[in-house]
Amino acid sequence: MSDVFVDPSVTPVAAPTVTPTVTTGPITGSTKTYRELHHPGIDAPLRVPFRRVNLTDGDHLDLYDTSGPYTDPDAVIDLDKGLPHRPGVVRDRGTQLQRARAGEITAEMAFIAEREGVSPELVRSEVARGRAVIPANHNHPESEPMIIGKAFGVKVNANIGNSAVTSSIAEEVDKMVWATRWGADTIMDLSTGRDIHLTREWILRNSPVPVGTVPMYQALEKVKGDPTALSWDVYRDTVIEQCEQGVDYMTVHAGVLLRHIPLTVDRVTGIVSRGGSIMAAWCLAHHTESFLYTHFEELCEIFARYDVTFSLGDGLRPGSIADANDAAQFAELRTLGELTTIAKSHGVQVMIEGPGHVPMHKIVENVRLEEELCEEAPFYTLGPLATDIAPAYDHITSAIGAAIIAQAGTAMLCYVTPKEHLGLPNRQDVKDGVIAYKIAAHSADLAKGHPRAQQRDDALSKARFEFRWHDQFALSLDPDTAREFHDETLPAEPAKTAHFCSMCGPKFCSMRITADLKDSIRDAMDQKSAEFAEHGNRVYLPLTS
Amino acid sequence: MSDVFVDPSVTPVAAPTVTPTVTTGPITGSTKTYRELHHPGIDAPLRVPFRRVNLTDGDHLDLYDTSGPYTDPDAVIDLDKGLPHRPGVVRDRGTQLQRARAGEITAEMAFIAEREGVSPELVRSEVARGRAVIPANHNHPESEPMIIGKAFGVKVNANIGNSAVTSSIAEEVDKMVWATRWGADTIMDLSTGRDIHLTREWILRNSPVPVGTVPMYQALEKVKGDPTALSWDVYRDTVIEQCEQGVDYMTVHAGVLLRHIPLTVDRVTGIVSRGGSIMAAWCLAHHTESFLYTHFEELCEIFARYDVTFSLGDGLRPGSIADANDAAQFAELRTLGELTTIAKSHGVQVMIEGPGHVPMHKIVENVRLEEELCEEAPFYTLGPLATDIAPAYDHITSAIGAAIIAQAGTAMLCYVTPKEHLGLPNRQDVKDGVIAYKIAAHSADLAKGHPRAQQRDDALSKARFEFRWHDQFALSLDPDTAREFHDETLPAEPAKTAHFCSMCGPKFCSMRITADLKDSIRDAMDQKSAEFAEHGNRVYLPLTS
């Protein structure tokens, strides 16, 4: 294989000089705005960010904004220093879950309520009940508070991180900023290549959104990639290292038990979770139960100290349509339910990871079972992909599954990029993945009747119908590409107010014809109603054959 | 506006010299194969085409193939002459519906049964019942028979055709071949620009799939784009011209009645169907009922002579989330139900067009109502788009809706390309639209339990798990792009058998770890079972804390 690949993680390299450059400046057609909140006991106001779309008819629409200071032209961005700290971070009163149970509305909850357009009490009660989580490590004050729970907007996570084959710290920092620009609500740094600690440090210090990790990946690097050489000590030390750095949530595959492994043996695609396959290898090699399971309470104690949220990993998720909803998958889910109860007894916040590859008719069962077995802890699913047959288009195969599972109650969707199964996503793949998932999440918000969701659809459709092309672009998920596509055939500025586009041309534009019609219809109705009166108010019958 | 656009349809131009070039040759990793059928009364065998994926493990999988002779390296392609005629076309025994009712299994039905992997009797009975249609104008013998109905694989239509702003005959012929290469089951030529007749002639003579049109577009051109100048005579003559040419199905917006128009007046996006808005303009201008409605029986007589299938258009479909499932839409659907009964009494095949823009929770109602009101005639929907907020990504917003509506029983999906709402699709947009819709259709086939659907997912996933990269590419909807994405980071040939890709690198590849594990699991199970016996068959308890 040496002509294909040299593994840099085992090849000594000098400490890298990191000089990332990231995309800054407002999203086309929008400006950054903040609503200021005063919270008891905090001097500085909480500044809740929104993306304000300024419309040409004088109106505006404020949208949920994940992009942090990078889209604020007034913000000073210094990647070496990292983002400024938010006010109101409290380290000595336990987790958001514990404080919610005690009836406290934290600064984070107040911020989130304003951001989501709901009452602070709804935020508190959902967190107290364990049906929502606020991933906010005390050591990550750069992050803007956000909530993951079915009562709120559906969230999107973007996975970034290098592999041993490709990418650098600068590229990954750029991807992080780029992903949040397009709407990623959280980031997972899944680096498995070189400089794992340093990559994460750069991401955490500059991320305006919560950051998740899978600590197992770094632990495995520490034992030079040999799963059988892992131990609880190495893993625990890695977790503490990451807690100290400020990781907000961690995927822990503690539900992969020795007794579950034989259930995977006749699967078409075995175990497709990296963490799951590593733990299965360890369990079998040592012929003993997973140390993640046997040491789970110690893990809870560590997480509680920093308010790190569990993302209980689905190490046995199906990796193909054939393996969906099978005994292995649901056996693990049952174990995740037990672990949820333990974590919550320690006051630790919990969400549950879900599949994977699932045909449409088997998707809803996943949500129902997760809610039943895991005390309604927020469900956080990877897709699922509704078919296996479209590598290079798995952002689409999975956006279908993601929309359906989110409608059924999934709180956060982990994106899938077009590179899934084929290679490490680049910058363009990250954007394509985020946009596809914002579509899925927003479609689900509409279907769930989220109070703010349809405002944006209505504003965009109104702009479309009134041929306010600039407004239509500005209100869209990706104004730049929408405009670029339009301009491919009609680039001149007057076409931005023209009553047609190149799809139908001027004579066949239904919107133009209908807009012209609207007045005629009203006139006709007025006339008919005058005639109706004139003819003695007899019921009008249309002329039909 | 003159600096933006000069309308070529009103600018005299010389008759064009047309020299299209189209894409030929097999799909990467596949060969063309035929199964020969002998049908009573026909000398030449029916040759039913399949795309054979030849796997490196010696196995193969035959897939439904819409690409016609263009992917057969042994076929002689002469675009000036057109494709060869299929055997068995009968002009003097009425429509497929009439023959099915009479108990006849036509050559087309036999061909379709082989193609779909079902019994000829199922094909006949579904056609007889009106729950499936075989669009096959007697004058389009170049087309390979196919069926549209909920008991069969979900089909995909690709819209092509020029507009007054852009494109040429050569480009549109190329798009037709290109769309069928990627899996389009039918083509609609929606040209509204110059040379409408000639464009259609080139497409019909070279199309291996049924061709649909909206005759209103050409009729409108004949009256120089003024809807109020339309008449039944102009429309009828246009329909007959197109029937003679061989158009297989025609969209007729005969359900837009005078009394429906006021129902659209308070909509966010009014009337967004081109045909619908044209007819509404005509009805209002003349203050009389639609001539499509008043002359519907004459239209049926014409269609019956050629076996042209009605695609009853949804001229009042919603153009935005706000307008979904409203009074105008469902009033028209009720009228389409009446027209279905009339058409079928004339022995004419019917399908019903559906929306449009519909949020996920309102999608299924569309199918139930269509089936109830329209005698279960095949439903043929445009998307629907599950949200309005993503222009430039409407192939994705609508693939979500399309998958859901197809699972609920829609028989054919009309694709939406990334250019929807923005401009005329180019070659790349056509491919992106077709692939997104093949994903939606296949996802629905899986969810409906179509007998052959999961074979392909299983074969691909098995290839993936066994690191047969070439097989994984060959089995995918788009082998070229899948390979290109993989090769972006690992281009060397040995990487095509490597047990990892650049996404995770060699040490973190779950598939590699699991494949290594599989043997250990079996060994461990054997060992455990030996131990179990050794220890007197006591029940095994896992070591848990």
Q: How far is CA B191 from the centre of its chain?
A: 18
- Tell me the two tokens of residue B253: 């917006």
Contact A436 B387 (CB under 8 A): no
For residue B400, give the nearest of A400, A494, A502 by CB distance: A400
Mutate which of A167, A292, A400, A539 to test chain B, going by most B C-beta atoms within 10 A?
Answer: A400
Contacts 24+ apart (CB under 8 A), A36-42: A37/A110, A37/A111, A37/A114, A39/A88, A39/A107, A39/A110, A42/A87, A42/A88, A42/A107
**Pairing, β A60-64 against β B186-189:** unpaired
- Per-position b or e across A384-422, b if 16+ CB within 10 A of its CB: bbbbbbbbbbbbbbbbbbbbbbbbbbbbbbbbbbbbbbb
> Distance of CA A521 to CAs A499, B191, B259, B260, Å?
19, 28, 11, 11
In this prediction, residue A535 carries a pLDDT of 65
How many beta carbons lie within 10 A of that of residue B234, not counting itself? 16
Distance CA(A376)–CA(A370), nearest Å, equals: 7
For residue B508, give the nearest of A192, A510, A521 by CB distance: A192
Distance CA(B434)–CA(B543), nearest Å, equals: 52
Q: What are phi and psi of A509, to 5 degrees?
A: -75, 110
Q: How far is CA B415 from the centre of its chain?
A: 7
**Pairing, β B46-54 against β A30-37:** unpaired
Find the residue in A nearest to B424 (Cα).
Answer: A503
Find the residue in B nearest to A389 (Cα).
Answer: B476
What 3-state class would DSSP assign to A160?
Answer: strand
| CB neighbour list of residue B3: distance below 8 Å, 6 or more residues apart | A492, A494
Burial class from Cβ neighbours inside 10 Å (0-12, 13-18, 19+) for residue B82 reads middle
Helices A215-222 and A274-286: crossing angle in degrees, nearest 10, is 50
Distance CA(B353)–CA(B294), nearest Å, equals: 20
Contact A396 B396 (CB under 8 A): yes
Angle at B195 between CA B194 and CA B198, to 5 degrees: 160
Amino acid at residue number A20: P
Min CA distance, B262 vs chain A (Å)?
A: 6
In this prediction, residue B533 carries a pLDDT of 66
- Tell me the two tokens of residue A371: 């809610």
For residue A511, give the nearest of B272, B448, B524 by CB distance: B272
| CB neighbour list of residue A424: distance below 8 Å, 6 or more residues apart | A162, A163, A165, A166, A167, B489, B502, B503
In this prediction, residue B4 carries a pLDDT of 39
Find the residue in A nearest to B499 (Cα).
Answer: A1
**In chain B, which residues have pLDDT < 50?**
1-12, 539-545
In the A/B pair of chains, how many CB contacts fall below 8 A? 487
Residues of A in contact with B460 (CB under 8 A): 388-389, 391
**Pairing, β B60-64 against β B46-54:** antiparallel
Q: How far is CA B238 from the centre of its chain?
A: 25
Distance CA(A187)–CA(A180), nearest Å, equals: 8
Find the radius of gyration of the CA atoms of chain A. Answer: 26
Find the residue in B nearest to A266 (Cα).
Answer: B518
For residue B508, give the nearest of A163, A460, A524 by CB distance: A163
Is the overall model pTM greater than 0.90, yes or no? yes
In this prediction, residue B537 carries a pLDDT of 53
Residues of A in contact with B193 (CB under 8 A): 505
Mutate which of B253, B394, B400, B540 to test chain A, going by most A C-beta atoms within 10 A?
Answer: B400
| CB neighbour list of residue A501: distance below 8 Å, 6 or more residues apart | A486, A489, A490, A495, A509, B165, B421, B422, B423
**In chain A, which residues have pLDDT < 50?**
1-12, 539-545
The enclosing H or E element of A252 equals strand A249-252
Contact A501 B422 (CB under 8 A): yes
Distance CA(B385)–CA(B389), nearest Å, equals: 10
| CB neighbour list of residue B334: distance below 8 Å, 6 or more residues apart | B373
Contact A490 B165 (CB under 8 A): yes
Contact A164 B542 (CB under 8 A): no
- Tell me the two tokens of residue B120: 């000829």
Secondary structure E strands in A99-147 = 132-133
Contact A400 B403 (CB under 8 A): yes
Closest-CA residue to A284 (of A230, A221, A338): A230
Contact A320 B457 (CB under 8 A): yes
Distance CA(B462)–CA(B481), nearest Å, equals: 20
The β-bridge partners of B32 are B51
In this prediction, residue A7 carries a pLDDT of 46
Contact A505 B393 (CB under 8 A): no
